[in-house]
Amino acid sequence: MTEWLDSRAQGRKLAARQIQVIGILRSQPRLASYGSVSDIAAAASSNASTVTRTAQTLGFKGWADFQFELRSRFLASLSAVEVAAEHNGHISSPAQTAITTDRTNLAHLERTLDMDTVHSIAQAIAGARQTLIIAAGSYAIPGKALEHNAIIAGYNVRLLDADVAALTNAVARLTPHDLVIAISLWRVYDSTLRAVEFAHNVGTPIASITDSAGSPVAAHAAHRIVVPTESAGFFPSLTGAVSAAQAITVELATLDRDKSNQNIAASERAWDQLRIMHPRSSS
C-alpha cells in the first residue's frame, strides 16, 4: 500500500500539511482505511479540509472515493486470519452486521456504478463470437449467475472456474472476436491473472469486475466495474459483484428483446420436456 501511495503522490505538488496527511496514511493503514476524515486530521495535526484536498490531489473526487480504494488495498494485503481479526470486535449480532454491511455495499455500488459501462459490456457480449468468464473460488459465484442467465437469453457465454486445464485449453483458442470477463476480488488468483494476460496478448477484448481500480486483473480491461466487497467476516462480500453481474444480464436481455424472448421460451420448453423443474402449483 505504501508503494501505491508513493506512486499516486509522485509528480504532484503537495503542501506541507498534505505531506503530513500522507505520512499518517502510510504509517497507520488501519486508521486510514476505517477512520473518518476527522480521525485522520487529528492524527496528522491538521484539519478535515486538508485531508479532503489531499485525496483530491491524489486523483480522487474526495475522501470517500479515496478511502474505498485504500481499504480494498489494505484488506488485500491481509491473510484470511488477519481479515477475521479486523472484524473481531464486540458485535452483538454478526448476522445482522453482515446484512447491514451488504446494504451499505449496495448503496455504494448504486452511487458509483457507471451504467454506460454496464451497457458497453452487454454490447460486447452480444457482439462476441464467444464470451469466457474467468473467475476462481467463490468469485465464480457472480460468474455463474451471469453465465446461466446469458445462455438462457441466447448468448454464447461460458464460465471457467476450478479446472485449470479447461481454462488453459479454452484461452488457447481465444481470438480478437471473443470477449473475456475477469472477476477477481480481494486476493488475486494467479491462474486468473495469467489467463487475462494471455487474452490481452492475442488481442481479445477484456472486461473486469474487481474490488480495486488498481487490480492487476483490470490492467488491460477496456471496461471496468469496481464493486465494494467489505464484509463482516473473513471473506469478501459477493453482493456487489452479483448485483453487477445481474445488471449486465438484464441489460443484455434488452438489447434484442425478440431474440431473448425466443431463447427464454425455448429454454422453458426444454425444462418442461426434460422435467427439470418441479411442477408449479395451479392453485
261-271 pLDDT per residue, tens: 999 999 999 98
What pLDDT does residue 186 have?
Answer: 84
Among the listed residues 78, 69, 92, the one whose alpha carbon sits nearest the alpha carbon of residue 235: 78
What pLDDT does residue 74 have?
Answer: 82
What pLDDT does residue 72 have?
Answer: 80
What pLDDT does residue 73 have?
Answer: 82
Give helix 164-171 / helix 190-201 axis angle, nearest 10°: 10
What pLDDT does residue 236 have?
Answer: 87
Out of 26-35, 53-62, 83-92, 126-135, the most confident range is 126-135
What are 159's strand-pairing partners? Answer: 133
Across the chain, mean pLDDT equals 90
* Residue 100, C-alpha cell as written in the block: 447491514
Q: What tens digit of pLDDT does each residue of 39-74 get?
A: 899 999 999 999 999 999 998 888 888 888 888 888
CA torsion angle 102 107 111 114 (round to 10): 40
Give the span between the Cα atoms of 116 and 119, in whole angstroms: 5
Question: How many distinct helices (H) and strands (E) make up the chain?
Answer: 14, 5
Higher pLDDT, 78 or 267: 267
Average pLDDT, stretch 98-107? 90
Res 78 pLDDT > 70: yes
pTM of full prediction above 0.85: no
Neighbouring residues of 197: CB distance < 8 A, sequence distance ≥ 6: 220
Q: What angle do CA 4, 9, 13 make, to 5 degrees?
A: 175
| Number of Cβ atoms within 10 Å of the Cβ of 191 | 16
Give the span between the Cα atoms of 151 and 249, in whole angstroms: 10
